[in-house]
Structure 1
Amino acid sequence: MGRPGRGTRRRMDSTQGSYWIETAPGEAYPPLDGDLDVDVVVVGAGIAGISTAYEVARLGRSVALLEAGTVAGGVTGHTTAKVSALHTLVYDKLRRTRDEEAARLYAVSQSEAIERAAELVDELGIACDWERRDAYTYTHDAGQVPKIRAETDAARAAGLSAELVTDTPLPYPVTAAVKVTGQAQFHPRKYLLALLDDCVARGGRVFEHTPVVGLHEGEPCRVTTESGATVTARDVVVATHYPIFDRSMAFARLSSRRELVVAGPMAAGRDPDGMYITPDEGTRSVRTAPYGSDGQRLLIITGEHFTPGTADTDERFARLTSWATEHFPGVTFTHRWATQDNDPTDTVPLVGPLHHGARHAWVATGFGGWGMSGGIMAGRLLSDLMTGGRPVWADLYDPRRLRTVAREAPAFLQHQAKVGKHFIGDRLHGLDSADEIPPGGGDIVRAGGKQIAVHRDEGGQLHALSARCTHLGCIVSFNSAERSWDCPCHGSRFDVDGKVIQGPATKPLEQREPRHAEPSE
């Protein structure tokens, strides 16, 4: 796939961003402004990090939660928020690449996560639009029916209440679907902000706008922040979605995938009453949420997955909106946002010790689009491991696992080939002059043998940066829909001034002189 265009389209400014962030802004937490000593420090305040910090606090440990941006404001704040153990076609794949016991343990751990969330919603009285819903994985393609049938059999053998159906409440026909009852959905920020309130009440400390840039493992461990503050702790959890410390070698086993979301209000009578996903058409996910005070529902549709930095995001949004309008006529889509997931090469998340020699450093990553149940699971697993417990399904998620290396080799090699293609091939691209970049757009300009990332703002002013991602040096690409520079190798994202939006990069893109991107006299 070629590099995306220069952003000649304008953003659809009439739409809002993430509905979850808009409707649950939450309180602000301060940045860390001095050294701290705690039992556990958790780096990253998405659902995995917050769940871990909360579970640790419940066990009576002192905990500090450090977030580079705002709590539950990154990937977690842009999710579709299904809390389900039916993860598209995962069970048949696990049965084939591992064994039926692995599939069973996966189902047990994910189902326990759902019930843990339900327990906390009830115990803490969290008003987070918690709803029990049936989950479906469906297809329109008759040629894919054997896969749906195999997934039904595998999910049922794993212990889920799975059945093969040909009719669903969707307003359009499907050829076949696997249906699992008793799953759930919620408002993720309302849920997580309530957990943070209770965590703080138990003595937990929460800090926003506190990027972590260093980790020293030992007894005790120490993490250092961008401001120079140090947190000393017995245990460190890296829950930054994509690990910011490469000593885990996760970058070789994770591939980043970006997906788009459109949402809009619809009459309650049109609610398809379920959570749906199909791997067809570049993935389509459908569900609704309570909306407003008059009983309406918010229709939420996700799809168009692609590697960051490789697609025209505006064009993809238009394609997704067109699909949504065709299948749900009359709905006006008032919100749109994007999310990002990391897919592990062997399907299963990496939750456990950060690397082979780790004793007090832990990681949670690779949830592959199912971070709600996965993040809750990770919180339970890591809090148990740090306190001497070990769930029966701990080995399934252990990042040090070796038994699956041969089986994941094709996906591993495919991912590395794609990274290599971008690392080398993208260095051959670039404009001769920034004159070709329209207002609101951006592109790579070649100047003096170097590549410069140039954005022209709406007023015509140029913003120039080094085009080399500060993670491992791949060339970034401009995302016109979100006004960001995205790395196609490992998913790091930067704003137009170079600041890190999303890791694994921890350092900003270096500033360059705009004049270097202008044509020679």
Structure 2
Amino acid sequence: MDQQAATLRSYWIDTVPPGDPAPPPEGDLTVDVAVVGGGIAGLSTAWELLRRGRGVAVLEADRIAAGVTGHTTAKLSAQHTLIYDRLRRTRDAEAARLYARSQTEAIRHAAATADELGIDCDWEPATAWTYARDRGRVSELRAEAEAAREAGLPADFVTETDLPFPVAGAVRVADQAQFHPRKYLLGLADGIRRLGGQVYEGTRVVALKEGEPCRLTTGEGTQITADAVVVATHYPVFDRALLFTRLSPRRELVVAAPVDAARAPEGMYITPEENTRSVRTAPLRDGERLLIVTGEHFTPGAGGDTEERFERLARWAREHFGELTFSHRWATQDNDSTDSVPLVGPLHPGSRHVQVATGFGGWGLSGGIMAGRLICDRLTGRESAWSDLYDPRRIASVVREAPAFLKHQASVARHFVGDRLPATTRPSLDDLAPGDGAVLHLGGHRCAVHRDEDGTLRAVSATCTHLGCVIAFNRAEQAWECPCHGSRFAPDGSVVQGPAVRPLEQRDI
């Protein structure tokens, strides 16, 4: 079986399928805190607030633990590739120390929460490794190991790993963890309900009115009144903070295959080389583990053949781990902040009652748990030692962010303007093969047209409902994607992933 025959579905979701959905609110409701988003950040925040006596409602547009968190590689690590030397250089040693402490405490807190709630989530202690094969990067790795050690992590520089190929060097950090994220989050959701929290699925929030109190409106017109609101939708669905100018969406692919336990690497590995390669394994059955390989990151909607990207990732896995029969493949999406530090705190400078958690840059599990605790502290009047580090209003980082900010905005501008210029070649309906999609000019309008496998054509507006960029089709995942801010839509125009909250308008062919 080749990788194309693998199930196009996350292993975590496939092994713990959703049960009956929690229905939307039957009518308007009032609550102390409304949490928008049912992933790791939203559920962690709800849990912490409930434990401090606050009434909480979680509002999830689709199903809890089925979005970004349901498609993660599920590493719980404080070693985030090459973050500590960068923090030491761009901020200071104290910022690096606070980052390490906040992420480490998040891992320990997750272990304690799983134990408290009796969640069997395949928890495994693991060592995290950041490696390079290029000898020219050894000095970079040595600096990272030194910075991570100074920040308080059990880190060192090594030249030997248990990967089946040589490396020039690696940063090794002990006492990290990996787990099954859906088992953990569904167990956490049960704990939230037992404490009196409300969890609603199929409840897309489309509007926010800040004030005392705040008011949220769902797509069905339901009104939720709350003293405070937490926006934990991965990419914020409200633009008044202009955080979209400081976030860059990044999509990565994942392939997974059973492997003999005797030749499975024991740790969690990542390299910034080769367009990113991340490796870990998960318990499968006696004598076997599931090898999970991630990489081939790209900007959603920016073009390129996603199927070929899957093929490259599968070839790399086979080259290094032998003949593999892939059982699953999927994709995940992350948002990188322009200064590499998540944005957790007030939604905008004037915000008094709305908090946001975003920009985790591929490390959303420890980051989401950290965010839940930090936001809970903010909303309950407690001080956190690292609140300034993650505060979205931070001013000192503006100059440091400038190069990344300008690069991201230039990319957005190219799409926003360039996609509106007349194309040198224009595809037609006849050019669309079954299962394919393209942006076509029909009746003077730019339409996103998809042909089903049975040949049926469906057309929707080609303009993203977030901020108006032109979308592109991802054939491998059968989705329309926005290259500017990462919104994703199904072929019928329904929203798959924000920040867009409204579907694409239908078009006649």
TM-score range, shorter chain: over 0.9
CA contact (8 A) 1:11 1:480 kept: no
Letter in 2 for 1:87: H
Letter in 2 for 1:241: H
Q: Which residue of 2 aligns with 1:461?
A: 456
C-alpha separation in 2, matches of 1:11 and 1:437: 24
Letter in 1 for 2:237: I
Q: Which residue of 1 aligns with 2:146?
A: 153
Q: Which residue of 2 aligns with 1:302?
A: 294
1:395 to 360, 385, 388: 388
C-alpha separation in 1, matches of 2:149 and 2:226: 43
Letter in 2 for 1:382: I
CA 1:50–1:271: 2 relative to 1, 3 Å: same
Letter in 1 for 2:336: D
1:439 to 434, 447, 461: 434
Aligned to 1:332, the other structure's residue is in SS state coil
C-alpha separation in 2, matches of 1:338 and 1:53: 27
Q: Which residue of 2 aligns with 1:117?
A: 110
C-alpha separation in 2, matches of 1:13 and 1:495: 22
Q: Which residue of 2 aligns with 1:339?
A: 332
C-alpha separation in 2, matches of 1:204 and 1:343: 31
Matched, 1:272 2:265: yes
CA contact (8 A) 1:11 1:481 kept: no
C-alpha separation in 2, matches of 1:380 and 1:206: 19
CA contact (8 A) 2:207 2:216 kept: yes
C-alpha separation in 1, matches of 2:420 and 2:265: 47
C-alpha separation in 2, matches of 1:513 and 1:24: 39
C-alpha separation in 2, matches of 1:26 and 1:437: 34
1:188 to 166, 181, 191: 181
Matched, 1:51 2:8: no
CA contact (8 A) 1:431 1:443 kept: no
2:349 to 352, 356, 361: 356
CA contact (8 A) 2:37 2:231 kept: yes
Q: Which residue of 1 aligns with 2:484?
A: 489
Q: Which residue of 1 aligns with 2:279?
A: 286
2:406 to 404, 413, 432: 413
Matched, 1:207 2:207: no
C-alpha separation in 1, matches of 2:204 and 2:9: 24
Matched, 1:22 2:14: yes
Letter in 1 for 2:111: A
Matched, 1:142 2:144: no
For residues 410-446 of structure 1, the C-alpha deviation after alignment (integer angstroms, 9 at most, x for no partner) is 0000000000001111223462421111111011112
Letter in 2 for 1:459: D
Aligned to 1:359, the other structure's residue is in SS state coil
Aligned to 1:40, the other structure's residue is in SS state strand
C-alpha separation in 1, matches of 2:448 and 2:110: 43
CA contact (8 A) 1:266 1:296 kept: yes
For residues 230-278 of structure 1, the C-alpha deviation after alignment (integer angstroms, 9 at most, x for no partner) is 1111110000000000011110000000000000111111121000000
For residues 363-414 of structure 1, the C-alpha deviation after alignment (integer angstroms, 9 at most, x for no partner) is 0000000000000000000011000012101100000000000011000000
For residues 78-115 of structure 1, the C-alpha deviation after alignment (integer angstroms, 9 at most, x for no partner) is 00000000000000111111111111100000000000
Q: Which residue of 2 aligns with 1:473?
A: 468
Letter in 2 for 1:223: L
Matched, 1:101 2:91: no
| 27-36 or 156-165, which deviates more | 27-36
For residues 206-234 of structure 1, the C-alpha deviation after alignment (integer angstroms, 9 at most, x for no partner) is 01010000101111111110001111111
Letter in 2 for 1:281: E
Q: Structure 1 unaligned segments of length 5 or more: list them.
A: 1-9, 515-521
Q: Which residue of 1 aligns with 2:503?
A: 508
Q: Which residue of 2 aligns with 1:368?
A: 361
CA contact (8 A) 2:237 2:500 kept: yes
C-alpha separation in 1, matches of 2:488 and 2:427: 24
C-alpha separation in 2, matches of 1:26 and 1:200: 17
1:314 to 284, 307, 310: 307
CA contact (8 A) 1:476 1:486 kept: yes
How far is 1:26 from its partner? Answer: 3.9
C-alpha separation in 1, matches of 2:137 and 2:342: 26
C-alpha separation in 2, matches of 1:75 and 1:383: 22
CA RMSD after TM alignment? 1.2
CA contact (8 A) 1:236 1:362 kept: yes
CA contact (8 A) 2:77 2:366 kept: yes
| 318-327 or 13-22, which deviates more | 13-22
How far is 1:461 from its partner? Answer: 1.1
Letter in 2 for 1:401: R
CA contact (8 A) 2:3 2:314 kept: no
Q: Structure 2 unaligned segments of length 5 or more: list them.
A: none
1:39 to 23, 32, 36: 32
CA contact (8 A) 1:41 1:233 kept: yes
CA contact (8 A) 2:345 2:391 kept: yes
Q: Which residue of 1 aligns with 2:248?
A: 255
C-alpha separation in 2, matches of 1:59 and 1:172: 49
CA 1:232–1:295: 2 relative to 1, 3 Å: farther
Scaled by the length of structure 1, what TM-score is found? 0.95
Letter in 1 for 2:289: R
C-alpha separation in 1, matches of 2:401 and 2:204: 33
C-alpha separation in 2, matches of 1:334 and 1:11: 8
Letter in 2 for 1:226: G
CA contact (8 A) 2:100 2:151 kept: yes
Aligned to 2:323, the other structure's residue is in SS state coil
How far is 1:15 from its partner? Answer: 2.5
CA contact (8 A) 1:38 1:63 kept: yes
Letter in 2 for 1:302: T
C-alpha separation in 1, matches of 2:26 and 2:48: 25
Letter in 1 for 2:498: G
| 447-456 or 59-68, which deviates more | 447-456
CA contact (8 A) 1:26 1:193 kept: no
CA contact (8 A) 2:100 2:152 kept: yes
C-alpha separation in 1, matches of 2:416 and 2:307: 24
Letter in 1 for 2:408: H
Q: Which residue of 2 aligns with 1:164?
A: 157
Letter in 2 for 1:201: R
Scaled by the length of structure 2, what TM-score is found? 0.97
C-alpha separation in 2, matches of 1:17 and 1:281: 24
How far is 1:12 from its partner? Answer: 2.7
